[in-house]
Amino acid sequence: MTDVVYLNVDGEQVKARPGMRLLDVLREQGVDIPTLCDHEGLVPWGSCRLCMVEVTERGRNRLVASCLYPAERASDVYTESPRVRAARRFVLTLLLARNADVQLVQELAGRYGVSRLERLPAKQEKCTLCLRCVRACAVQGHSAIGTAFRGQEKKVGPPFDEPPADCVGCAACAAVCPTGAIEVIEKGDTRTIWGRTFELVRCKKCGAGFATCEQLVWVRKELGQEIEDKLCPCCRQRDEAQRMVKG
Amino acid sequence: MSNILLITPERCTGCGSCELACSFKHEDEFKPTASRVSVLRFEAGVSVPLTCLQCDEPYCMAVCKTGAIDKDADSGLVSVDGNKCIGCRMCVMACPFGNINYSVTAKKAVKCNYCDGEPECALWCPQQAIEYLPQDTATLGRKKAYSAKFAQLVEEVQS
């Protein structure tokens, strides 16, 4: 296998490492490829279909999701061709119908000149089904959430819509969500997410709730040893400082 | 690692210049709470500036499942790649010293990485309470004296 692949991106020759994702090659070139589902810390999924580009390789031309497509051989890549723009407009038309109020979707729709189609009923859903949350949960080994149903009914959530037993309450799902669709309620000493309420562990010194018990159990298991679980991070630092001056 | 960040609490006046320099460098604003270095102030005018110790075997890195936290083999610096961080906060729970933070606005972990080799805090400290010095016998000896106290802390937790 060669250690470099030559691509022709919109008429310009570009070098890439074989096996590199086309999306990363294009980003390195400064090409702005729209995407909702891609996250560098998560496995590529290809669910939003916004990063589609046109590739001509060995005489064959097709649309590919650049987040899943590896650069392996010399090819011509078109990032804003009429076919690419039409594919993105199609996806954005559907997204704009389901996620009518989502700013990110509205901005992308604006960029591609997409407006609402009257015949598609407008829904005010926040979730775009990009599944970043599901992958963020799975990468840690919890897999507390997944998808249920298919087609128009498809949705993300815990099994049977019950408070998820495997959730540790870390809220990474909410942190990676590009549209703020996942609600986390921190109230007093509790954190509620996916319908499950966690009691927060209080810091022995300042009394602040700083983690769920399940989070600390998970960290302990991952490290294979005991951890500082009595003090919040702030008080740990204060403790560390005190030791420095006391000697 | 060529240089190390050395802290001398006896010299710290608690002015907080390091926190301002740090937050301005990384967040474009003068905001001590967003700083990667913290000045811990005690009674009788005693203050200690603290930041990440760049552990040899970082707990934060050990619990990170997305590879967002990495220790550079040459420089020894432990850094967070914000693009890979999913905001699970496990690193924050794992650090025994509380030296890695979670940014509520960015929804990601943030920590000191010695400004990639040019720490602003050391540059702006008027008292040389934070110094960025070559890693020689003298500086390492001073650092080890403090490390011994932290080792004691870790032992207490584990026992």
Report the domain count for chain A.
2
Residue A224 contacts B where some CB pair is shorter than 8 Å: no
- Subunit contact A242:B42, Cβ cutoff 8 A: yes
Q: How confident is the model at residue B151 (pLDDT cuts 50, 70, 90)?
A: low
Q: Which tokens sit at A124?
A: 């005010």
ipTM: 0.91
Of A112, A130, A148, which marks where a domain is finished?
A: A130
Q: Which residues of A touch B98 (CB under 8 A)?
A: 231-238, 240
Tell me, what's the pLDDT at B146?
Answer: 73
Higher pLDDT among residues A180 and B148, named by residue: A180
B90 contacts A215? CB cut-off 8 A: yes
Rounded to an integer, the average pLDDT of B76-97 is 95
Together in a domain, A121 and A91: yes
Chain B contact for A233 (CB, 8 A cutoff): yes
Q: Residue B145: what pLDDT?
A: 75
Containing domain of residue A145, as a range?
Answer: 132-246
Mean pLDDT of B77-81: 94
* A159 shares a domain with A67: no
Of the two residues B87 and A188, the one the predictor is more confident about is B87
The Cα of B74 is separated from the nearest Cα of chain A by a number of Å equal to 23
Quick one: A41 and A105 in the same domain?
Answer: yes
Based on the fold, state whether residues A80 and A122 are members of the same structural domain.
yes
A47 and A116 share a domain? yes
Instruction: Determine the Cα angle at A192 with ends A190 and A197, to 5°.
Output: 70
pLDDT of residue A154: 94
SS3 readout for B22-86: HHHHHHCCCCHHHCCCEEEECHHHCEEEECCCCCCCCHHHHHCCCCCEEECCCCCCEEECCCCCC
Burial environment of residue A161 by CB neighbours within 10 A (0 to 12, 13 to 18, 19 or more) = exposed
- Which of A172, A176, A245 minimises the CB distance to B46? A245
The encoded tokens of residue A47 equal 């669910």
A239 contact B CB<8A: yes
Confidence of residue B115 (pLDDT cuts 50, 70, 90): very high
Among residues A130, A146, A176, the one where a domain terminates is A130
Contacts with A181 from chain B: Cβ below 8 Å: none
pLDDT over threshold 80, residue B155:
no
Contact A13, A7 (CB under 8 A): yes
Of A218, A231, A237, the CB nearest to B90: A218
Confidence band, pLDDT 50/70/90 cuts, at residue B137:
confident
Question: How much is the pTM?
Answer: 0.91
Residues A175 and A221 reside in one and the same domain: yes
Q: Is A43 in the same domain as A112?
A: yes
Q: B150: distance to nearest CA of chain A, Å?
A: 7
Given a cut of 80, is residue B156 above it in pLDDT? no
Q: Which chain B residues are within 8 Å of A203, Cβ to Cβ?
A: none
Residues A159 and A173 in one domain: yes
Nearest-by-CA chain A residue for B7: A244
For residue B134, what pLDDT is reported? 87
Query: Best of A179, A200, A240 to disrupt the B interface by mutation (most B CBs within 10 Å)?
Result: A240
How do residues B7-48 score in pLDDT, each as one tens digit?
Answer: 998 899 999 999 999 999 999 999 999 999 999 999 888 899
Domains of chain B: which residue ranges? 1-51+117-150, 54-111
Look at B127 and A247; give whichever has higher pLDDT: B127
Give the fold, CATH level 3, of B1-51+117-150: Alpha-Beta Plaits (3.30.70)
Considering the domain architecture, whether residues A123 and A223 belong to the same structural domain is answered as no
Interface contact A172, partner B, CB < 8 A:
yes
Q: Which fold has domain B54-111?
A: Alpha-Beta Plaits (3.30.70)
pLDDT at B158 over 70: no
**The dihedral of CA A184, A185, A191, A194: what is its sign?**
negative
Q: Work out the mean pLDDT of chain B and round it to a whole number.
A: 90
CA B111 to chain centre: 7
| CATH for A8 | 3.10.20.740
Cβ separation of B95 and A238 shorter than 8 Å? no
User: Which pLDDT belongs to residue B114?
Assistant: 92
Contact A243 B66 (CB under 8 A): no
pLDDT in tens, chain A (247 residues): 578 999 999 999 999 999 999 999 999 999 999 999 999 999 999 999 999 999 999 999 999 999 999 999 999 999 999 999 999 999 999 999 999 999 999 999 999 999 999 999 999 999 999 999 999 999 999 999 999 999 889 999 999 999 999 999 999 999 999 999 999 999 989 999 999 999 999 999 999 999 999 999 999 999 999 888 899 999 999 998 988 887 5
Which one has a higher pLDDT value, A170 or B75?
Answer: A170
Q: Are residues A96 and A154 in the same domain?
A: no
Q: What is the pLDDT of residue A247?
A: 55
